[in-house]
Amino acid sequence: MLIQRIFWKKLIEEAWQEKNILWLMGVRRIGKTSLCQSLENIHYFDCERPRVRQLFTDPEEFLESQKGNRIALDEIHRLDNPSEVLKLAADHYPTIKIVATGSSTLGASAKFKDTLTGRKREIWLTPLLLEEMDYFGSSNIRHRFLYGGFPSFFEKKQLPEPDFQEWIDAYWAKDIQELFNVAKRAAFQKFTELLLSNSGGMFEASKFTAPCEVSRQTILNYLHVLEETFVVHIVKPYSMHRPTEIVKAPKVYGFDTGFVNYAKGRSELRTEDTGFMWEHCILNELQGHLQTRSINYWRNKRDNEIDFVINNRVKNALTAIECKFNSSPDDARFTDTGKNFEAFRTHYPTGDNIVVSHNIDTPFTRRYKNITIVFVNSKDLIKKLRSL
């Protein structure tokens, strides 16, 4: 029986109210197919099957036969001209609701000759959100950290290490080889492995040229491909170019905690890993719920740092978010946290200061000098951000 993923189904229905074409994107095996098949009254077409591809020899004839239907075109990049089908539907068949799936952004590959600007809505299916864990059989956050957010991996009772490598091989064969002009498989996979094992760290392209035996420009090209296929996330520093701030060095996060642990060679979690894993999960929560990549971090040259910064341009305010796996009102480490917010607010005084922790049931506030800091759990964090 297909699990009903309430948040994502609601997002799809809302998107269809605005446009009849929806691009559902996310990494391979993240659950796009199951999500599409769970939609009410959906006609599902797997474009990896030759018999299905034959239906699109005459795209207009196919679309005529689907008037008034809700259809899913899974792995649509396998069609000869996928953008033609979607453009025709957008311009001439408004009664057809289409959800088309792919493992990259629509404009990432030369396979798509038209990115359908203004004709579509996009939804980015991320790894499991924390609120979905119970649907897939566990509420244990450490299980989510170690096994990651692929539904099929998360449901396992034993760590599926062979599945991680199988996915990496399939990613190269089915996504990279089919959609991108990338040579040197060994160099690309080495770079991917290094990025995942150093997830959350500062990125400098020149550090990867020697171990991968390619040029700096090739490293940057690889990074672009990995970002476009959602395997890594680039989080840039927020800065108004003040001399005391870090202004250039981005951080690069791996897309899934399970794959980060696999790249690090971990089959068990240590206590000291929980904060690092929690930060990755909160980034995933922000990306999934807010459907944005516009997330920054902040750091100055004295090593004061804010994990995530979200810019509310309408209110001209910056929300500063620190991730702490455990927090309490009498936490002795609060001074260090307060200093980070104080340093940030010296430059950017307007906005909310938030610490998000796993063990908080009821939000509370603490003061550090003249700064108010709100402590919340992940669910209340999203509610607060949506209210801003």
What is the predicted pLDDT for the residue at 387?
A: 86
HSE, side-chain direction, 13 A CA sphere, residue 319: 21
Do residues 56 and 85 touch, judged by C-beta distance below 8 A?
A: yes
Pick from 101, 91, 108: nearest CA to 122:
101
DSSP, res 266: -
Along the 388 residues of the chain, how does pLDDT read in single tens digits?
788 899 999 999 999 999 999 999 999 999 999 999 999 999 999 999 999 999 999 999 999 999 999 999 999 988 988 999 999 999 999 999 999 998 888 766 666 777 788 999 999 999 999 999 999 999 999 999 999 999 999 999 999 999 999 999 999 988 888 778 788 999 999 999 999 999 999 999 999 999 999 999 999 999 999 999 999 999 999 998 778 888 789 999 999 999 999 999 999 999 999 999 999 999 999 999 999 999 999 999 999 999 999 999 888 899 999 999 999 988 877 889 999 999 999 999 999 999 999 999 999 999 999 999 999 999 999 999 998 7
What is the predicted pLDDT for the residue at 109?
A: 65
How is domain 130-235+248-272 classified at the CATH fold level? Answer: Arc Repressor Mutant, subunit A (1.10.10)
CA separation for the pair 109, 207 (Å, rounded): 27
Q: What token pair was written down for 359?
A: 């063990």
Q: Where in the chain is the domain with CATH 3.40.50.300?
A: 6-124
Pick from 345, 346, 349, 379: nearest CA to 362:
379
Q: Where in the chain is the domain with CATH 1.10.10?
A: 130-235+248-272
Do residues 24 and 32 touch, judged by C-beta distance below 8 A?
A: yes
CA separation for the pair 148, 262 (Å, rounded): 10
- The CATH class of 6-124 is alpha beta
Do residues 163 and 169 touch, judged by C-beta distance below 8 A?
A: no
CA separation for the pair 103, 108 (Å, rounded): 10
Q: What token pair was written down for 14?
A: 């809302």
Residue 353 has φ and ψ, to the nearest 5°, of -110, 120
pTM: 0.95
What is the predicted pLDDT for the residue at 106?
A: 73
What is the predicted pLDDT for the residue at 114?
A: 76
